[in-house]
Amino acid sequence: MIKKHLLFAFFQIKSTFRAVPRLILCTAVFAAAVIVIGLCGNELLSDSQDRTVNINVAAVIPEGDTSVALGFQVISSMDSLKSMCRFIAMDHDEAISALRDGKISAIIEIPENFVDDLMYGKNTPATITIPENAGMETLIFRSMISAGAKSLASSESGIYAVSDLLEYYGYHDYVTASQDELYDFYMKYAFNRMYFYDGETVSATGQTSSAGYYICSGIILLLLLCSMVTIDRFSNRPPAVMESLKTGGISKTYVRLCEYIGVVLMFFVLFTAILIICSHTAASEYITLNAGVILSLLLVTASVIAFVMFLCCIGDCGLVSTMLVFLTGAFMLYAGGRIVPGSYLPEIIEKTGNVLPAKSWCTLIESAFYRTPDINAALICAAYAVLFLGAGILVTVIKGRDR
Amino acid sequence: MSLIEVSKITKNYGKKQVLRDITFSAEAGECIGIVGANGCGKSTLLKILSGAHKPDGGSISYNNENPLARSSVFSRYVGYVPQENPLFDNLTVLDNLRLWYCDSSHNLKDDIRNGIIAEFGIDRYLKSIVRTLSGGMKKRLSIACSIAKNPEILILDEPGASLDIVCKEDIKRYMKKYVADGGSIIIASHEESELSVCSRMFLMDNGILINLAPGTALSSLMGRIAGKDDNND
């Protein structure tokens, strides 16, 4: 009886491998689609690196007031502002008209004698005008002004505190000099943010390069898409075949298990072959093969095919199963941040994606390619494989109880 | 003790009772024919006797062994040829045969040279994929696979349906040989020529098995068989 079971398993694998030519053809078609998706995603990431918020602000300066004009030139050249704001000198009417036309996001109006008042300690406010239905740029500008005012207030209070302290201890001669020194320090730090902040590059793709990120996502997407071609392998066999197997001592559970092993082996061999070819061609920069990669690929294949088999058991194969595999696969990859990086997704989608299987499939493949295989991801993949395989067999058994 | 003892077998599909207290027995070397309208329960009875389906009640005994308690008894005693094709369509003829011969005392090579496989002319198609074979050749192959283990009981469910006359004659000739060699056959059929091999006949009517008198012609049962096609086999 064991001999018959082994022979049956061998024939299952053999008949599965007969589908390889058809699968290679479909893989080529799907691979083209995956490459297009990868390129689009890569383009999105590259583009986003150069994206800046540009806020146009009208500066209404009193005519002939060179101090204020100079002040605006200084402010405009500050690092913290120049990457976001562009000050355009206008007169009042021009500025109002531009604000109405949506060409600018705000107006800063400096009153006459502003600098003189400032020098004599008189608090003369500058007027800031923003539109009634403010857009995102205006809101950002308002926040900037608020932050700037607070920052200025802090600096000023620091300078005044030092002056008061010197006065208190009788160092009257040092007051003016200390104020000049402190203004210099303040301006130096305000001009160059690097004194305050360490440079840190944050990438949406984590430690992996964009190309590597999309290669890993592409492998999973390709595996999911290609598995649709083999859905017929999991279709219910004709009742006569199942009855004949049953009378021969071969159960439905064993048949399902053999079908699963056959498809997993076929995909594993096919994808390993593709990776071997890629590692010897132009893609060798991103794809290196070692035992960790091979084992991870086997584990991921086992998990993905178990998932597909489960959906086939639910949907009785055919169109329903194909749609289920496609839609759930696409959603899992999207929510897992493998089509558009997670940082671009709504929080709820990102959180959902973190618990879906595609996340651990991609993490395992990515870690195997570019670091060392992530043991946690490997364990989760194995758990998903067992879970989906068990659930698929259970559905088969339950559906087989009809008669 | 009879080779086959069937007692009070019942089977329901939902609320519908398909088999009601089916009871009969058969000796070694007997050929039992079952006739009846489509959907009357013939196939269901044969599936239960082959172990493919479970009865809701009753008992079966093969040579005083209870197959319902130990399913391996079914595979040891019964060779079952269902109405539809039970073969693996995407495998070769030889692979199908190897699967069913692997735990048999029969030698596949011997049967290919001068056994049932040669007799049915299957030996010419050993390398062919099953789905490319004709209906007749598939049926011959099904029979060859079902008797690979040399079972004492052969269950045939309408073996000649939609086959040409040559194939039907081949099957009939083999049935005679099988019975002559001491095997028992239970066959459900509408074919007069296949039923001519039978030593006893039953009519399945509304889930009840009725013993027919020896020599009863099928034509005389037309009124009882006609008009019950509710496709429940």
- Taking only the tens place, the pLDDT of each residue in A111-145 is 887 777 766 667 778 888 888 766 666 777 777 77
Chain centre to alpha carbon of residue A54: 24
Q: Is B155 helix (H, G, I), strand (E, B) or coil?
A: strand
B101: closest CA of chain A, how far (Å): 9
Cβ contact (<8 Å) for B52 and A243? yes
Distance (Å, whole) CA A364 – CA A372: 9
Q: Where are the domains of chain A?
A: 2-47+205-399, 55-196
Q: Please, which pLDDT band fits residue B233 given cuts at 50, 70 and 90?
A: very low
Q: Which carries the bigger pLDDT value, residue A393 or residue A49?
A: A393
Find chain A residues with C-beta within 8 A of B62's C-beta: none
Partner A contacted by B103 (CB < 8 A): yes
- Interface size A-B, in CB pairs within 8 Å, comes to 64
Per-residue pLDDT tens digits for A337-389: 887 777 778 888 888 888 899 888 988 888 888 778 889 999 999 999 999 99
Distance (Å, whole) CA B33 – CA B155: 10
Q: Whole-number mean pLDDT of chain B?
A: 86
Residue A279 has pLDDT above 90, yes or no: no
Per-residue pLDDT tens digits for B119-176: 888 889 999 999 899 888 898 899 888 888 888 999 999 988 877 888 888 888 889 9
**Residue range B40-58: mean pLDDT, rounded:** 91
Q: Who among B86, B100, B102 is closest to A240 (CB)?
A: B86
Partner A contacted by B132 (CB < 8 A): no
* Domain spanning A55-196, CATH class: alpha beta
For residue B232, the model assigns a pLDDT of 45
Q: Please, which pLDDT band fits residue A282 given cuts at 50, 70 and 90?
A: low
Q: Please, which pLDDT band fits residue B231 given cuts at 50, 70 and 90?
A: very low
Q: Which carries the bigger pLDDT value, residue A208 or residue B20?
A: B20
**Nearest residue on chain A to B54, alpha-carbon basis:** A403
Cβ contact (<8 Å) for B52 and A246? yes
Cβ contact (<8 Å) for B53 and A11? no
| Mutation site for B-interface testing, chosen from A12, A243, A245, A254 by largest number of B Cβ within 10 Å | A243
Q: How many CB atoms lie within 10 A of CB B19?
A: 25
For residue A172, the model assigns a pLDDT of 85
Cβ contact (<8 Å) for A243 and B50? yes
Per-residue pLDDT tens digits for B61-92: 998 899 988 888 888 889 999 988 889 888 89
Q: Who among A1, A7, A247 is closest to B99 (CB)?
A: A7
Partner B contacted by A249 (CB < 8 A): yes
Walk me through the domains of chain B, giving residue ranges and CATH numbers.
4-84+151-225 (3.40.50.300)
For residue B229, the model assigns a pLDDT of 47
For residue A181, the model assigns a pLDDT of 86
* Measured CA angle at B144 (ends B141, B150), to 5 deg: 165
Residue A167 has pLDDT above 80, yes or no: yes
Q: Who among A4, A18, A403 is closest to B53 (CB)?
A: A403
Cβ contact (<8 Å) for A403 and B13? yes
Cβ contact (<8 Å) for B13 and A246? no
**Nearest residue on chain B to A246, alpha-carbon basis:** B52
A288: closest CA of chain B, how far (Å): 37
Q: List A residues 15-54 in contact with B (Cβ-Cβ < 8 A).
A: 15, 18
A26: closest CA of chain B, how far (Å): 20
For residue A44, the model assigns a pLDDT of 63
- 3-state per-residue secondary structure call for chain A: CHHHHHHHHHHHHHHHHCCHHHHHHHHHHHHHHHHHHHHHHHHHHHHHHHCCCCEEEEEECCCCCHHHHHHHHHHHCCHHHHCCEEEEECCHHHHHHHHHCCCCCEEEECCCCHHHHHHCCCCCCCEEECCCCCCHHHHHHHHHHHHHHHHHHHHHHHHHHHHHHHHHCCCHHHHHHHHHHHHHHHHHHHHCHHHCCCCCCCCCCCCCCHHHHHHHHHHHHHHHHHHHHHHHHHCCCCHHHHHHHHHCCCCHHHHHHHHHHHHHHHHHHHHHHHHHHHHCCHHHHCCCCCHHHHHHHHHHHHHHHHHHHHHHHHHCCHHHHHHHHHHHHHHHHHHCCCCCCHHHCCHHHHHHHHHCHHHHHHHHHHHHHHCCCCHHHHHHHHHHHHHHHHHHHHHHHHHHHHC
Residue A71 has pLDDT above 80, yes or no: no
**Residue range A78-98: mean pLDDT, rounded:** 80
Find chain A residues with C-beta within 8 A of B147's C-beta: none
Per-residue pLDDT tens digits for B7-24: 999 999 888 889 999 999
Residue B211 has pLDDT above 50, yes or no: yes
Q: Is B45 helix (H, G, I), strand (E, B) or coil?
A: helix
For residue B210, what are the β-bridge partners?
B203
Percent of chain B beyond pLDDT 70?
Answer: 91
Per-residue pLDDT tens digits for A214-259: 788 888 888 888 888 778 788 777 888 888 888 878 888 898 899 8
Residue A287 has pLDDT above 80, yes or no: no
Q: Who among B52, B87, B95 is closest to A247 (CB)?
A: B52
Q: Whole-number mean pLDDT of chain A?
A: 80
A390: closest CA of chain B, how far (Å): 24
**Residue range B28-35: mean pLDDT, rounded:** 91
Partner A contacted by B98 (CB < 8 A): yes
**Residue range A174-201: mean pLDDT, rounded:** 71
For residue A205, the model assigns a pLDDT of 64
Q: List B residues 38-67 in contact with A (Cβ-Cβ < 8 A).
A: 47, 50-53
Per-residue pLDDT tens digits for A313-341: 887 767 888 888 889 988 998 888 887 77
**Residue range A254-282: mean pLDDT, rounded:** 87
**Residue range B108-129: mean pLDDT, rounded:** 88
Nearest to A9, CA basis, from A223, A376, A256, A340: A256
For residue A78, the model assigns a pLDDT of 65
Work out the angle between the directed axes of helices A20-50 and A252-279 (0-180°, nearest 10).
60
- B142: tokens are 């099904």
For residue B225, the model assigns a pLDDT of 60
Of the given ranges (A288-292, A294-298, A352-356, B136-140), which has the lowest mean pLDDT? Answer: A288-292
For residue A80, the model assigns a pLDDT of 63
Nearest to B8, CA basis, from B49, B58, B52: B58
- Residues with Cβ < 8 Å from A244, sequence gap 6 or more? B52, B80, B82, B86, B145, B146
Report yes or no: B145 and B116 within 8 Å, Cβ to Cβ: no
Find chain B residues with C-beta within 8 A of A238's C-beta: 84-86
